[in-house]
Amino acid sequence: MKNEQFNKPDLKDARKRSKIESIVSEFHYNNLISNIGENKKYIIQTHGCQANEADTEKIKGLLESQGFTPALDETEADLIIINTCAIRANAENKVFGEIGRFKRLKMKKPDLVIAIGGCMPQEEVVVEKLLKTYRQVDIIFGTHNLHKLLDYLAIVMIEKRRVVEVLSFEGDLVENVPTVRDNRYKAWVNIMYGCDEFCTYCIVPYTRGKERSRKPEHILEEIQSLVNDGYQEITLLGQNVNSYGLDFTSRAYRFSDLLKDVSALNIPRIRFTTSHPKDFSLALIEALAKGKNLMPFIHLPVQSGSNRILKMMNRKYTKESYIELINTIRNLIPGVSITTDIIVGFPSETEAEFQETMDLVRTCQFEGAYTFVFSKRTGTPAALMEDLTPTEEKKDRLYRLNDLINEGFLRGNERFLDTNVKVLVEGPSKSNKDFLCGYTEHNKLVNFRGNPENIGTIIDLHITEAKTWSLKGEVLHE
Ligand code: SAH
Ligand code: SF4
Ligand code: F3S
């Protein structure tokens, strides 16, 4: 295609931060585009974290507003979108593999539109690679301009021009983008976008831009409408929810205030992710302890148990202050379940420092963790640090850590054996079609025999068996 619309990202620009409070604008349709999706089918692949899952629901909302309908498989699709993740090299390699695979589909069906969005296009190295090697891609868009996807589709489908539009600056907070939610009982609610932490290994502050908090009235309005639609559970989303509100210049309203206000709404279950240990205030712990509908489950990434490595990571807390925080949380919220994220093999991490991480895991009694081998991200400070540990050694650390983490998973499940729990019933169990499954308040997966009519409701179960990855239960009363 000739006459490309062209705007490439720049990681250096993405690093810049302004102190200005974000402007809010309303999503509006471009009247020149109508029903471009009529008789057209789409498929969308989502990689990465909940932020991307929430974005995908908006992409679906935009597409379906113009008549696109979901395709059953790729061969049937007129439009393929990949919502990408840039967090680790293997996440990116998977996406490049997929785009390569779609080339054959495009050869058979030249009108097929392929769009790549999400975090990967926010990196200039990725855009260059896409432009050089993956000519089958028609649209490259980023995280800051998702709401303009319909305009880009019109350019490709009507004007037959290729679009590369990735912005390094955040722009306005756009409210009321149409949304098609994947689940009728559980919903994601974005409370803020971006991240200002700049942990030295992490690409997210570059791909998602500066921290921008949505106004409380918009968040509460969205949740109220979910309540009206019968939703049972919401998860408040942000890269670091504890920083919520720090960017407001016109009011003093923080995450603990938001939790109190959300908790007053008639929603049975409230969760949030992710918290950074550095801003986890006493006010927040106290708010959590008070709200009956605030679930006793906290994901609190620690990353490492070595103070030298934590410093190199720019995490702004120590092993000791993290342990103290865990103790305070456990004292004020008895029975709370705590999980974490850990990176092994950060540049220059020694075996002794890795053992400090193992010790920290034992001390903190985590009931689960996402564990990773450090992955070098071009443009981040850690990518320039000397890294001499052999890959085999790093993998060995990961395996040893995972064995320890799995013991914690099992212990966390075993403490519910012979107790009664409340479960939000989600649907058929993935492991056995005769069973239903759902999650407890502490976020434990339970499989049980039950009535499918209960799907979408919260019921009482008695736990009869505890395994590493799940519990088994029996219905108490229907
Ligand atoms: N905002 C969240 C996490 C986002 S990324 C938080 O700070 O908690 C999810 C996890 O991916 C991180 O907690 C970290 O453990 C891991 N991660 C991020 N960058 C990584 C990298 N370059 N290599 C390996 N793991 C990484
Ligand atoms: Fe990445 Fe750190 Fe921000 Fe989390 S807090 S998204 S790990 S920079
Ligand atoms: Fe991946 Fe972007 Fe989320 S890099 S982890 S999809 S914020």
pTM assigned to the model: 0.95
Task: Give the Å distance between the CA of 464 and the centre of ligand 1.
Answer: 35
With 80 as the cut, is the pLDDT of residue 6 above it? Answer: no
With 70 as the cut, is the pLDDT of residue 3 above it? Answer: no
Q: Are residues 45 and 66 in the same domain?
A: yes
Please name the residues in contact with 181: beta carbons below 8 A apart, sequence gap of 6 or more.
57, 187
Q: Are residues 468 and 336 in the same domain?
A: no
Among the candidates 385, 414, 443, a domain finishes at: 414
For residue range 19-68, list pLDDT tens digits in order. 788 888 889 888 777 889 999 999 999 999 999 999 999 999 999 999 99
Q: Are residues 139 and 280 in the same domain?
A: no
Q: Are residues 188 and 150 in the same domain?
A: no
Q: Are residues 282 and 390 in the same domain?
A: yes
For residue range 158-189, list pLDDT tens digits in order. 999 999 999 988 888 999 999 999 999 999 99
By residue count, the chain amounts to 478
pLDDT value at position 240?
A: 95
Measuring CA to CA, how many Å separate 169 from each of 9, 212, 423? 9, 12, 42
For residue range 283-323, list pLDDT tens digits in order. 999 999 998 999 999 999 999 999 999 999 999 999 999 99
**CA dihedral over 450, 455, 461, 467, signed as positive or negative:** positive
Instruction: Kindly report the CATH number assigned to the domain that includes residue 461.
Output: 2.40.50.140
With 70 as the cut, is the pLDDT of residue 431 above it? Answer: yes
Give the residue-averaged pLDDT of 366-373. Answer: 98
Distance CA(405)–CA(124), nearest Å, equals: 36
Q: Are residues 399 and 462 in the same domain?
A: no
More confident residue, 432 or 404: 404
CB 444 within 8 A of CB 405: no
pLDDT value at position 25?
A: 87
Binding site membership of 343 for ligand 1 (Cβ less than 6 Å): yes
With 70 as the cut, is the pLDDT of residue 478 above it? Answer: no
**CA dihedral over 297, 300, 303, 307, signed as positive or negative:** negative
CB 384 within 8 A of CB 378: no
Ligand nearest to the CA of 198: 2
With 60 as the cut, is the pLDDT of residue 2 above it? Answer: no
Q: What is the mean pLDDT of the chain?
A: 95
Task: Give the Å distance between the CA of 398 and the centre of ligand 2.
Answer: 20
Binding site membership of 87 for ligand 1 (Cβ less than 6 Å): yes
pLDDT value at position 20?
A: 80
Residue nearest to atom 3 of ligand 1 (CA): 239
Question: Residue 155, Cα to own-chain centre: how many angstroms?
Answer: 30
Interstrand relation of 192-193 and 212-213 (parallel, antiparallel or unpaired): antiparallel
- Minimum mean pLDDT range among 169-173, 369-373, 376-380: 169-173
Question: What's the alpha-carbon Rg for the chain, to the nearest Å?
Answer: 23
Residue nearest to atom 7 of ligand 3 (CA): 204
Give the residue-averaged pLDDT of 231-240. Answer: 97
Q: Are residues 211 and 261 in the same domain?
A: yes
Instruction: Kindly report the CATH number assigned to the domain that includes residue 157.
Output: 3.40.50.12160
Q: Which residues lie with the beta carbon below 6 Å from any ligand 2 atom?
A: 195, 197-199, 202, 204-205, 239-240, 276
CB 437 within 8 A of CB 385: no
439's tokens: 């999650």
Instruction: Kindly report the CATH number assigned to the domain that includes residue 264.
Output: 3.80.30.20
Among the candidates 165, 198, 220, a domain finishes at: 165
Q: Are residues 142 and 246 in the same domain?
A: no
Q: Are residues 322 and 397 in the same domain?
A: yes
Ligand 1 atom with least separation from CA of 342: 15
pLDDT value at position 22?
A: 84
Q: Virtual CA dihedral for 35, 38, 40, 42, nearest 10 degrees?
A: 50
Neighbours of 374 (CB within 10 A): 20
Q: How many domains does the chain contain in total?
A: 3
Domain carrying residue 251 = 174-414
Q: What is the percent of the chain with per-residue pLDDT over 70, rounded to a whole number?
A: 99
pLDDT value at position 29?
A: 86
With 80 as the cut, is the pLDDT of residue 229 above it? Answer: yes
Q: Are residues 182 and 93 in the same domain?
A: no
Closest-CA residue to 219 (of 170, 160, 278, 264)? 264
Q: Are residues 124 and 235 in the same domain?
A: no
The DSSP code for 459 is E
The DSSP code for 214 is P
297's tokens: 């489950």
With 90 as the cut, is the pLDDT of residue 205 above it? Answer: yes
Q: In which band, very low, low, confident or very high, does the pLDDT at 390 lie, cut at 50, 70 and 90?
A: very high
Residue nearest to atom 1 of ligand 1 (CA): 239
Task: Give the Å distance between the CA of 56 and the centre of ligand 1.
Answer: 20
pLDDT value at position 331?
A: 97
Give the residue-averaged pLDDT of 430-449. Answer: 95
For residue range 62-107, list pLDDT tens digits in order. 999 999 999 999 999 999 999 999 999 999 999 999 999 999 999 9
| DSSP three-state, residue 126 | helix
Among the candidates 396, 414, 432, a domain finishes at: 414
Q: Are residues 272 and 370 in the same domain?
A: yes
Give the residue-averaged pLDDT of 371-398. Answer: 97
Task: Give the Å distance between the CA of 114 and the centre of ligand 1.
Answer: 28
Closest-CA residue to 438 (of 426, 456, 430, 429)? 426
Ligand nearest to the CA of 193: 3
Q: In which band, very low, low, confident or very high, does the pLDDT at 224 lie, cut at 50, 70 and 90?
A: very high
